[in-house]
Structure 1
Amino acid sequence: MRRLIAVLAAFTLSLGMLTACSPGSSQSTSADNAKTVDAYLSALIPKKYQGATIQVATDATLAPTEFVDPETQQLVGADIDLINAAAEVLKIKVTFVNVPFEKVISGVTKGTYPVGASSIVDTRSREKKMDLVTYLKSSPRFFVAKGNTFTKTSELCGKTVAVAAGGVYVDEVKTLSATCPKASPITVEQLTDQSAATQAVVDGKAFASVVSGPIAAWTVKESDGALELAGEPLAPFTYGFAIAKKSGLAPAFLTAVNSLITQGKYTEILKKWGLEDSAVKASTINPRTRKKTS
């Protein structure tokens, strides 16, 4: 896998050179280069998916990465744009399936969905069940109802923190709770999705919620003053597009994401959604497993 990733990375760096026609290049040379790129990209797509529409599972409650536009009722966000752009690079068709986060993870694990795009944190345990093609990094943040601010995470002891079920934030809060006095642990309220977790904070049913920094900031911004960020950012996470192990699609999406980075489209999309500070220099597959074995 490591050798394959290195080869793909090297080829991706040359995609821009192959597809761009220099002032002195002939039209025939440009056309030949385009054919070479198309042939290579086509070969990356397993036969069962060639000509088919690939389902991408997403939990569209995580603005600004994936959410439902209230005016158009269409799925929008950075993840949606990146997947669509990757599909354009690979010349494949994708369709999004909006399901709760737990079903995104279980669906990709079982192969029900070939791809998952839902602000999925890369962990070693997940890399055993699926391939993670990295594309973002950020530090999780807590948010609370206006006026309920706190500075230290120890102040959460004895309080309720609402999180989306199936996410890594469940374990993050449980880890924090383990440092609390036995008489006042943190109560972890696992809800269907992040929208429900946010609503629990607004309604006073939970003291706080925690999610990736950009999502927390967006949630606070859109709350009309009802919410505010609190505490210090937690240790940063890397996020990846989840690819079903047996699908064989990970190399294709790795190449596509790195192509978007090289060509500048990646930066353009992140700036559109205010995520430029979460950019990665290059995408890779299952970096946690690779670090452990290298």
Structure 2
Amino acid sequence: MALSKKQGVVVGVTAAAIAAIVAVGAVVALNQPAAATAADSTPKPTKSAAKISADSVPWVEGDVVPKAVEALKKSGFTPVEPGKLTVAVGAFVPPLSYVPDGKTLPAGTEPNIGSLIAQGLGLKYNPVVVAWADWPLGIQSGKYDLITSNVTVTEARKELLDFASYRQDLLGFYVKSDSRITKIEKAADISGLKIVVGSGTNQEQVLLKWNDELKTAGKAPADLQYYDDNAAATLALQSGRVDAVFGPNAAYAWAARETGATKLVGIVPGGWPQAAAIAAGTAKGNGLIEPVNIVLNELIANGKYAQVLKGWGLDSEGVTTSEINPPGLPKS
């Protein structure tokens, strides 16, 4: 995606570096704690929750975190607008970030996390909806203080940004809620199954590798199915023409929560075979990331963080601690 021509070139940021920052993490790229691999810390399969609409998910309010406020004062960080935390967010689809019908402010996990961070720092939350390609320059140039928009930590991005992790980037296997399939965790589990997957995606590479393992073992590989849109894939799953769908967990988790028609039976790290975290990002060395990290860990400790994820059906992507600049996906 091309960077916005309206953005000025940031001094000291090369075109190659910016390209590296933008490249990873499409709208629903979408992260297991840093040092994990595909076999580590796999969440348990879950049954679908009752039907729910996006409008019924409550917005979680937070409190000031004195320790974070004190750290912010000592950091020397100056917000874009005095008394406010200007946070870049996307406007895509539930559960991550979207603008509800008739509303002007974004909702979803990412805006709510941004709001809780602002409240913890004792600042007014000032969300700004931005295009995916525009946020790196916006953060670097000081147009935005922070981004909470499903950003994956990568080694390339860490050269220019500081991060505080708050979610795992995961890929999920989903089946019909009444399916006899109870788990998909390794190559043997997909033998003979028809699985919907996106062409040219990391999840396709997972299945192709597993199919190679099955063929070497003399077992039937999975039959990979490709659809142009989610509606067609969903219809194929519900009609029994395919056994499972495999893709970004966040989107499928919300669909399961919203409709009750599917259930999670397996998780794979989003950067398979490596994993990285979803994190809040800010300009490197500006002093903001330490206070943000303090707020995030307080939110984890007091249960507010869990409330946000539970409301949107993303419990499986939760973390037990926020890390500053955890290991990210390697440079390509």
Structure-2-length-normalised TM-score: 0.54
Query: Is 1:276 aligned to residue 310 of structure 2?
Result: no
- Are the aligned partners of 1:52 and 1:93 in contact in 2 as well (CA < 8 Å)? yes
Quick one: distance in 2 between partners of 1:235 and 1:256? Answer: 26
Aligned length: 238
What SS does the aligned partner of 1:46 have?
A: coil
Contact 1:131 1:286 in 2 (8 A): yes
Q: Are 1:256 and 2:292 an aligned pair? A: no
For residue 82 of structure 1, the aligned residue among 95, 108, 113 is: 113
* Shift in Å, 1:105: 4.8
1-side partners of 2:226 and 2:157: how far apart? 21
Could you tell me which residue of structure 1 aligns to residue 155 of structure 2?
A: 124
Residues 65 and 79, structure 1, Cα contact 8 Å, conserved in 2: yes
Partner secondary structure for residue 67 of structure 1: coil
Q: Spell out, residue by residue over 1:95-121, the C-alpha distance to the aligned partner (whole angstroms, 9 max, x if none).
A: 222234343456446654332212222
* Equivalent-residue separation in structure 1 for 2:194 and 2:132 (angstroms): 25
Amino acid at match of 1:276: D
Match of 1:134 among 165, 184, 194: 165
* Residues 162-188 of structure 1, C-alpha deviations (whole Å, 9 max, x = no match): 79xxxxxx455467668889xxxx999
Deviation at 1:253, TM superposition (A): 0.9
Q: Secondary structure at the match of 2:168?
A: strand
Partner SS for 1:141: strand
Residues 1:65 and 2:99 are matched in the alignment: no
Are 2:135 and 1:99 equivalent residues in the alignment?
no
- From the superposition, tell whether residues 71 and 37 of structure 1 become closer, same or farther in structure 2 (CA, over 3 Å): closer
Distance 1:104 1:143, change over 3 A: farther
Q: Is the 8 A contact 1:105 1:116 kept in 2?
A: no
Partner SS for 1:75? coil
Do the aligned residues in 1 keep the contact of 2:68 with 2:292 (CA within 8 Å)? no
Q: Percent identity?
A: 20
Partner of 2:74: 43
CA distance, structure 2, for counterparts of residue 87 and residue 109 of structure 1: 19
Kept after mapping to 2: 8 A contact 1:152/1:231:
no
**Residue 161 (1) aligns with residue 198 (2):** yes
Consecutive unaligned residues of structure 1, counting only runs of 5 or more, are: 1-18, 21-33, 164-169, 190-195
**What CA distance in whole angstroms lies between the structure 2 residues aligned with 1:97 and 1:44?**
24
Structure 1 stretch displaced more, 66-75 or 246-255: 66-75
Q: Which has the higher helix share?
A: 1
* Match of residue 215, structure 1, among 248, 251, 254: 251
User: Which structure exhibits the higher relative contact order, with contacts defined as CA atoms closer than 8 Å and separated by 6 or more residues?
Assistant: 2
CA 111–141 in structure 1, closer or farther in 2 if over 3 Å, else same: farther
Structure 2 residue 145 is matched with structure 1 residue 114: yes
1:195-206 correspondence runs (5 A): 198=230, 201=233
Cα distance in 1, alignment partners of residues 156 and 225 from structure 2: 24
* Counterpart-to-counterpart distance in 1, 2:232 and 2:149: 21
Conservation of the 8 A alpha-carbon contact between 1:162 and 1:197: no
Q: Say whether the 8 Å CA contact 1:198–1:209 is kept in structure 2.
A: no
Cα deviation digits, residues 215-252 of structure 1 (max 9, x gap): 31213444696xx5788432265211122225432112
Give the partner amino acid of 1:80: P
Partner letter of residue 251 of structure 2? I
The 2-side partners of 1:100 and 1:188 are apart by 28
Amino acid at match of 2:324: I
Do the aligned residues in 1 keep the contact of 2:68 with 2:295 (CA within 8 Å)?
no
Counterpart of 2:325 in structure 1 is 286
Could you tell me how far apart the structure 2 residues matched to 1:63 and 1:128 are?
Answer: 30
> Following the alignment from structure 1 to structure 2, what is the Cα–Cα distance between the partners of residues 116 and 162?
29
CA distance in 2, matches of 1:128, 1:154: 44
Does the 8 A contact of 1:60 with 1:98 survive in 2?
Answer: yes
Partners of 1:282 and 1:153 in 2: CA distance: 36
Q: Deviations over 1:245-281 (max 9, x none)?
A: 2543211211211222233332333333333343222
Q: Which runs of 5+ in 2 are unaligned?
A: 1-63, 213-223, 237-241
TM-score (ref. length: structure 1): 0.59
Residue 46 of structure 1: CA displacement?
0.7
Q: Which residue of 2 aligns with 1:14?
A: none
Give the direction of change, closer, same or farther, for the CA distance of 1:202–1:187 in structure 2 (3 Å limit): closer
Change in CA separation of 1:201 and 1:248 when aligned onto 2, cut-off 3 Å: farther
- Residue 234 (str. 1) matches residue 264 (str. 2): no
DSSP-derived class of the 1:240 partner: strand
Structure 2 SS opposite 1:121:
coil
